[in-house]
Structure 1
């Protein structure tokens, strides 16, 4: 190749949470990659008893789709309010704050009594909400420095993330687990003529979202076109 563009996506770091193994993900789904996982989570929620507890554990930053866990909470709350109104949602979070928090909490207060004794939704921020270990069979999450146990009827663990495997094979990943790039061109700072866009790139303060990836692709394409044009002009006879 003359130029190579990679969009490796993300891999889930199951080993970051003690007791969680990829083979357990049908019983304790992450549902962070669509398909069988999202179907499994839906089935568990729809068969959960009225009065049950749905626990979701979002990871620390950075990760794919920062607002995603809280959109999921909102969708589950909408379903539970209609079909299983005695149920509760517990957010055990690896962060102290989250994306669009004010907007989400505004809606939760209006619709689900958030912040009151009768709230359907409870948010436990880090450090107390940081899940470090789970017991898959009992669907118990252990969080905080004292490993407090939280038992769920449905346990949704979203592991920490890193750049997809192809990025590691291409040696464009650094010690952070992500791909450092020149954000003016999205060329890797580790391997010349290789460009990395999307969730795998180190793109802060840009969030790891589809909108951001779309914008990066346009900048990257323009940079590649410019570099090829410049090279062609340089090689042309006077």
Structure 2
């Protein structure tokens, strides 16, 4: 299957992307991984992306699209892929459509993960990370350390990352609602989008996602 995975920060998209790609035996294509891989290999695309990232600006759509195009042409993606973080807006969705048409490839489904805003904020703002190199992660509500502010594993100091603060999370959600969420409606109009709740145990969300994709595959036929 060829799938796009969409969801707000804190919905568990990264976890589900890896699990679903494994279950479906397709590569997980993450824009973050693409940027890091191209920068590490010092490709021309990577050099251009690094300039943007070092300047603190978004990587332009054309660069993201070029990297995604190159990755989707790799042998392991011949029979399917799971896109995570791309497309991130309607313009990129339209560009992806053009790219796939040019390659005579059909997108099978767009899976949207849904979670109440309050839950998303609670999930992210409650994270605490160990300052040690191992960077163990805890959560004040879901996985609290035995001793407040201290890592159970190495005794290092636990802290809240700047991008995990409630203020920053709300800003990230605003960007998601404005830029990324509209692609779900874009794909719904074409009969490709399905949405599920991302609440509950990780295994349950994965099962829910696989069932939704199976129904979508059946409808597509």
Which band: TM-score by shorter chain?
Answer: under 0.3
| Structure number, greater radius of gyration | 1
TM-score, length-scaled by structure 2: 0.27
Provide TM-score, normalisation by structure 1: 0.25
